[in-house]
Amino acid sequence: MTAIHDLLKRLWQGYSQMNPQAESIYRFLTERGEKVVNDHIALRTFDDPRVGIEVLSAGFLAGGYRAGDEYSFTEKKLAARHYEPPDVSLPKVFISELKLADFSENLRSLVGRLLDQVPEQTWTRSDLAVIGRPWSLSHDEYLALAEESEYAAWMAAFGFQANHFTVLVNALATFDGLESFNACLKQAGYQLNASGGEIKGSPEVCLEQSSTLADRVSVDFSDSVQTIPGCYYEFARRYPLPDGSLFGGFVARSADKIFESTNRR
């Protein structure tokens, strides 16, 4: 197994352990006879130079991934870039970062204190994407971050791990589209993110996406154990471009609402 295959495997292991609904949906689909193809994996970070996109992407670039398009999310105050795999059998990687300069001094200071706890050599690890939370965080600090940014709070609570994996609906044989797929999931008892509509995007922008709402999981804070939203499972249907190839990028307006799958509710 190559280093990049090992990294992707560890991302799934950590993600599925923390997100039982993903394992459950994966099993549900395979029992229907489906082959589940992973469209992309998403990671989060801060735009601090120690841990920004350029740092977090290093392990993927070393494994043969190449940088794709860049994206901006004005409302969420995020920047992002996706990375194309060296082999079509591997998933894309989507990395976003919180633009700290757009937030209060209190949030910037708190994030700085978290990062300052971590030995400098940690940031050069080739497996940085799977190390989890390398700092200590109190529940009060988590709540303070959430007041300004649900994204910041999630990142502070969980650190470096997959935020979500994504089923490529195009590869499913027993569904005729995302609408019937969503209906089947809801009938099976899974809750979907309805922010901006259950289906984000359209055939006109060549991409439709939906997602579950994040499972609530127990997190060890420095002062208590609390139950907060963890990870979610996403579903994507891609449409062909004029040249016949499937659209391979992302649509910022749609992804903006997908981010809300981890919001407290």
Domain residues of the chain, as ranges?
3-262
Burial of 15 (0-12, 13-18, 19+ CB in 10 A): buried
Q: Tens of pLDDT along 128-146?
A: 999 999 999 999 999 999 9
CA distances from 68 to 61, 81, 137 (A): 11, 7, 33
Q: Tens of pLDDT along 94-104?
A: 999 999 999 99
Name the stretches of the chain with pLDDT < 70.
1, 256-257, 260-261, 264-265
Helix axes 150-158, 139-148, angle to 10 degrees: 150
DSSP type of residue 34: P
* Tokens encoding 7: 């990294």
Output the pLDDT for position 265: 58
CATH of 3-262, one of 3.10.180.50, 1.10.150.130, 3.20.20.70, 1.10.150.20: 3.10.180.50
* Nearest in space to 57 (alpha carbons), one of 209, 165, 160, 134: 160
Rounded to whole angstroms, how far apart are CA atoms 143 and 118?
21
Output the pLDDT for position 195: 85
Burial of 231 (0-12, 13-18, 19+ CB in 10 A): buried
| pTM score, whole prediction | 0.94
Q: What is the mean pLDDT of the chain?
A: 94
Output the pLDDT for position 131: 97
